[in-house]
Amino acid sequence: MNATAPVAPPLGEPVDPTPRPLPARIPHRGRSVDLEPLHTRHAEDLFRASQSPGADPSWAYLGYGPFADADAMRRHVAAFAAQHDPMAFAVRPHRTGTADGWLTLMEIHPADSDIEIGHIWFSPRMQRSRAATEAMFLLMRHAMDDLGYRRLTWKCHAMNAPSRAAAARLGFRYEGTLRAVKVIKSRLRDTAWFSILEDEWPARRDAIAAWLDDSNWTPGGAPKSSLARVPADPLPWIAAT
């Protein structure tokens, strides 16, 4: 009687295990916005931007802010700019010429080829603008095309409907929600996770690039076509509170 051959356990797809490069503190130039490595010289602009009407709700889901005065903002920016992970960039829209927000590359795992875009704060005058979309796209493209990461992630408070909408609009796919995983400002947070993988990226990149292209914009600054959302979040979206 022949012995049964051992069955190999199922394993993941083989990949190139070469670690990806770490991102560098370099500027990124776009059609409507520039990204600059965050520095204390941006603090004055950022504090003024944070005083714009309607700015307070923009801090609701972040672990910091709003800031009581310019000194508090400067201290935060100084500490934030000194970190490598997250690596923060100030966002300077061409329309205003001032630093109106920030965003980061974070949770950087070169050996796993996994990186996240997060810590996104845009002042009200920058929200839902061409510059806001391009700012995120510049870092997404840098991570996936320039550095060659295999997986790009996005996570947010599960009740943050605007962030979930932004993730879907940019082409991130919903992966699931970790329940009661963090405490933010003395409140429990469920965290929703999204991702774009390397084989999905070219279609996402081309769609965003086409939307940002000058040919898609009227002389009055309105897009001629929308950037379609990916219908990949199976859960009802929870209204922000």
What homologous superfamily is domain 28-216 in, according to CATH? Gcn5-related N-acetyltransferase (GNAT) (3.40.630.30)
Query: pLDDT at position 235, please?
Result: 37
| Mean pLDDT score, 62-77 | 97
* Domains of the chain, residue spans: 28-216
Q: Render pLDDT for 136-180 as a digit per residue (tens, 0 to 9).
A: 999 999 999 999 999 999 999 999 999 999 999 999 999 999 999
Q: Render pLDDT for 209-218 as a digit per residue (tens, 0 to 9).
A: 999 999 999 9
Which of 123, 54, 194, 203 lies closest to 131 in space, CA to CA?
123
Structure confidence at residue 233 as a pLDDT band (50, 70, 90): very low
Q: How far is residue 76 from each of residues 99, 105, 106, 120, 165, measured CA to CA in Å?
A: 15, 17, 17, 15, 28
